A and B are shown apart, each in its own frame.
Chain A
Amino acid sequence: QQQVKQSPQSLIVQKGGISIINCAYENTAFDYFPWYQQFPGKGPALLIAIRPDVSEKKEGRFTISFNKSAKQFSLHIMDSQPGDSATYFCAASFSGSARQLTFGSGTQLTVLP
C-alpha cells in the first residue's frame, strides 16, 4: 500500500520557469511533511518541510503548499535553475512511528538552460 503518492514521475522545465510537484497522502496521522532532494550518486537531503498547522511555507525559491482537507501537498520551485535538476521526494511521518519516513515515488526534474 503506497501511503504517499507523488506526481509527475518526471518533469522538464525551462530555466526561469516554475516547477510544481504534487503529493497526496492517505494516513491522517501524518504530522510532518518534508521534501528531499537527491542528486545522482548522493543520498537524499532535506530541502524544506511543513507541519499541517500551516498552509504554506517558503524558503528562498522553494515553497510548500499544504491542503489538509484534501490531504495533498506540493512543492513549488520558482525561477528554476539547471542546478535544481535532481530527483525530488515528498515524504511523511507521524510521531508514533519513531519518525520513519514514508516516501513518495520521486520526481526526476530536469531544468533546461
Chain B
Amino acid sequence: DTAVSQTPKYLVTQMGNDKSIKCEQNLGHDTMYWYKQDSKKFLKIMFSYNNKELIINETVPNRFSPKSPDKAHLNLHINSLELGDSAVYFCASSRTRGNTEAFFGQGTRLTVV
C-alpha cells in the first residue's frame, strides 16, 4: 500500500490552463504539506495543513490554492498556469504538526508548454 499517493504522476498542459493535483495519505497523519522541487532539484515548502486547517502559507502566487476536504487529502489547484510553474510538486505528511518525520509522495512532474 502506498503511504502518500499523488495523481497524476505526469501533467503536461498549456499556459493559461487550470489544473489540479490530488494527494492522499493512508497513514492516519494529521499534517500534510506541499513542496515544490525546481529544475535544479531545490525543494521548498509551499503549504502546510493540520487537520484541514492551513498553518503554513509560504510566499506563493495566489494562483496556487490548496484544498483539504479531510485530513487524509490535500489537493493543489493551480490557476492560469505559467511556464515558470513547471516543476515537480511533492505532497508529504507527518503524524502531527510537531512530529519530525515527513513522508513524501512520488511527486507530480508538471510541464507547462
Residues of A within 8 A of B (CB): 32, 34, 36, 38, 41-46, 49, 87, 89, 93, 95, 97-103, 105-106
Q: Can you list 22 contacts pairing A with B, beta carbon distance less than 8 Å?
A: A34-B100, A36-B104, A38-B41, A41-B107, A43-B4, A43-B92, A46-B101, A49-B100, A97-B56, A99-B31, A99-B94, A99-B98, A100-B45, A100-B48, A100-B56, A101-B102, A102-B45, A103-B42, A103-B43, A103-B44, A105-B40, A106-B41
- B-side interface size class: 20 to 34
Q: How far is the CB of B48 from chain A (nearest CB, A)?
A: 5
Question: Chain B residues near A45 (CB, 8 Å)?
Answer: 104
B22 within 8 A of A: no
Fill in one digit per residue for B81-113: 1 if any A CB lies within 8 Å of its CB, else 0.
000000000101010011111111111000000
Contact B92 A99, beta carbon cutoff 8 Å: no
Contact A44 B94, beta carbon cutoff 8 Å: no
Q: How far is the CB of A8 from chain B (nearest CB, A)?
A: 14
Extra contacts, 12 of them, besides A43-B90, A101-B35 (Cβ < 8 A), are A34-B100, A36-B104, A43-B92, A43-B107, A44-B90, A95-B98, A98-B50, A99-B97, A99-B99, A99-B102, A100-B56, A106-B42
Can you list the 8 inter-chain pairs with the closest CB atoms, starting with the nearest? A43-B104, A103-B43, A100-B45, A106-B41, A98-B97, A98-B55, A44-B104, A32-B100
Which B1-46 residues sit within 8 Å CB-CB of chain A?
4, 31, 33, 35, 40-45
